[in-house]
Structure 1
């Protein structure tokens, strides 16, 4: 199964196992959940959301500081 990942303006097609969650994906690409917002097909989702065939997943880095 495949989905599209948009990460730092880089777009790639990735294969995945069934029932891959957003949290598992973030672990694989080494992005801490606390530093990103995730969109699935244009809608903001939580980390327990399951990725489906053909989904478009966008990782948006949160800018913060003091």
Structure 2
């Protein structure tokens, strides 16, 4: 199955397995889950959220520093 992932404004189609969580999707794509928040279909979700087919997943990087 495929989902639409948007990272840094760039959209790409990714294959995923049934039952994958947001956190596992981030790990598979080497995205640090501690430095971003995730929106699915326009709603902020917890890393344990289970992704469904055709979900639009957007990774929003958090900028921090001093």
Structure 1 counterpart of 2:2: 2
CA distance in 2, matches of 1:25, 1:65: 26
Q: CA RMSD in A?
A: 0.7
Unmatched runs of 5 consecutive residues or more in structure 1: none
TM-score, normalised to structure 2, is 0.95
Q: How many residues of Structure 1 are paired with residues of Structure 2 in the alignment?
A: 66
TM-score, scaled to structure 1:
0.95
Gaps of 5+ in 2: none
Alpha-carbon distance in 2 for matches of 1:50, 1:59: 15
Deviations for 1:2-50, whole angstroms, at most 9, x for unmatched residues?
1100011110111111001001011011111110010000000000001
Residues 39-50 of structure 1 aligned to structure 2 (within 5 Å): 39-50=39-50
The DSSP-based 3-state class of the residue aligned with 2:23 is helix
